[in-house]
């Protein structure tokens, strides 16, 4: 790289390190600033389509990115990323708002954590059962694994013909560097209270006992995934298991095997809900606030995203590395 590029890389890396160090403080400060200069919820409500009924509306929520709970204490470089607690709050807000007649969730995700996916699923069921409001799913370019898990209970699932969905199942991954470390003369000392305390450690080979324990966790989560799809799509569990072997499907293929109900875009989904509700309701979108801190965060994120090396460094510093159960499509 050129000298100028190296200087830019060093300067940005220093900014990343500083941001990580003050992340907790800035997150709180950001919340305070957004309360001062943004909306009371942390997001804004914007009318994207005006209808004939000015008193009632359909709400559109967007789920973009990996479904994982970072406590919403994201770095200043990730202002536009998925925020789990905020998303749950948006669903709850739409459910309790008496003027909201229906909810559409636009899904663009490869999936994510088992727990987080289950929490979204529970919120969607709550909207339907406690508030008697329809929930439609509009699939974007990808709605795989956990993205399908949250879609399963929806009253209607609409996908693009080219949507990548499926990947129905559970995965847990880790790496093993024992041989690499040995080649460099590196030794690890582990003191533990029980045989399996360091299960999935990167510094030792996995034993048959380890594998049996982990497979039991995978099987339990997989059984729950199958149950969710079976109930949501009115299929037998045997039918679901034949489809849920981890393979991916296009929107066209998913329609043929009854994993989705219709093919269409977000606009088509809005039109379907209006028709099903029998009224031309206005359409409101909950979107990221543009408070002072949010504007600063978006600027920092834009600066970082222009350099792939810096983006990779920031991701390595901030993302959680511990193995976890995931409903996730890994490319």
- Location of structure tokens 């460099």: 184
CATH at 55: 3.90.226.10
Domain identity same for 97 and 198: no
d(CA 86, CA 41): 9
Residues 71 and 150 in one domain: yes
Whether residue 329 lies inside any domain: the answer is no
Same domain, 240 and 254: no
- The CA dihedral of 77, 23, 294, 296, to the nearest 10 degrees, is -70
145 as an active site residue: the answer is yes
User: For 152-203, what is each residue's pLDDT tens digit?
Assistant: 999 999 999 999 999 999 999 988 898 888 889 998 899 999 999 999 999 9
Which domain, by its residues, includes 58?
43-167+245-299
Residue 317 vs residue 167, higher pLDDT: 167
pLDDT band at 38 (very low <50, low <70, confident <90, very high): very low
Digit-coded pLDDT (tens) for 195-229: 999 999 999 999 999 999 999 999 999 999 999 99
Q: Looking at the domain assignment, is residue 14 inside a domain?
A: no
Residue 197 designated active-site: yes
Q: Does one domain contain both 263 and 221?
A: no
C-alpha–C-alpha distance, residues 77 and 182, integer Å: 37
**3-state SS string over 100-111?**
EEEEEEEEEECE
- Tokens for 189, please give them: 């000392």
Q: Which of 75, 145, 167, 201 is catalytic?
A: 145
Check pLDDT > 70 for residue 12.
Answer: no
Quick check: 141 pLDDT over 90? yes
252 with 234, same domain: the answer is: no
Query: Choosing from 197, 216, 302, 312, which is the catalytic residue?
Result: 197
In a domain, 312, yes or no: no
163 shares its domain with 256: yes
Give 290-303 pLDDT, tens digit per residue.
Answer: 554 455 554 555 55
pLDDT, position 17: 56
Give the C-alpha separation, 21 to 273, whole Å: 46
260 and 235 share a domain?
Answer: no
Query: Residues 216, 184: one domain?
Result: yes
Q: Is residue 282 part of a domain?
A: yes
Identify whether residues 249 and 122 lie together within a single domain.
Answer: yes
**Length reported for the chain:** 331
Query: Does residue 313 fall inside a structural domain?
Result: no
Asked if residue 205 and residue 100 are part of one domain, the reply reads: no
């Amino acid at each position: 790289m050129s000298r100028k590029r190296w200087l830019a890389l060093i300067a940005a890396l220093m900014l990343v390190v500083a941001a990580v160090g003050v992340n907790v403080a800035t997150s709180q400060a950001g919340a305070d600033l957004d309360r001062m200069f943004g909306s009371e919820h942390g997001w804004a409500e914007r009318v994207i389509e005006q209808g004939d009924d000015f008193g009632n509306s359909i709400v559109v929520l967007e789920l973009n990115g990996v479904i994982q709970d970072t406590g919403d204490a994201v770095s200043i470089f990730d202002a536009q990323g998925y925020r789990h607690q905020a998303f749950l709050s948006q669903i709850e807000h739409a459910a309790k708002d008496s003027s909201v007649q229906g909810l559409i969730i636009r899904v663009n995700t490869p999936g994510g954590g088992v727990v987080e996916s289950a929490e979204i699923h529970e919120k969607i069921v709550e909207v339907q059962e406690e508030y008697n409001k329809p929930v439609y799913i509009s699939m974007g370019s990808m709605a795989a694994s956990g993205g399908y898990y949250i879609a399963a209970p929806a009253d209607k699932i609409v996908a693009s013909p080219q949507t990548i969905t499926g990947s129905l199942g559970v995965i847990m991954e880790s790496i093993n560097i024992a041989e690499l470390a040995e080649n460099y003369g590196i030794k690890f000392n582990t003191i533990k209270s029980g045989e399996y305390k360091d299960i999935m450690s990167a510094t030792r080979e996995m034993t048959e006992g380890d594998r049996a324990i982990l497979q039991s966790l995978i099987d339990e989560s997989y059984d729950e995934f199958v149950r969710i799809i079976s109930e949501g799509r009115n299929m037998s569990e045997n039918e679901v298991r034949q489809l849920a072997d981890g393979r991916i499907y296009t929107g066209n293929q998913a329609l043929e095997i009854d994993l989705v109900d219709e093919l269409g875009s977000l606009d088509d989904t809005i039109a379907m809900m209006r028709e099903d509700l029998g009224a031309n309701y206005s359409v409101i979108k909950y979107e990221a606030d543009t408070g002072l801190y949010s504007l600063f965060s978006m600027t920092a994120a834009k600066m970082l995203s222009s350099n792939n090396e810096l983006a990779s460094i920031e991701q390595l510093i901030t993302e959680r590395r511990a193995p976890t159960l995931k409903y996730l499509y890994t490319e």
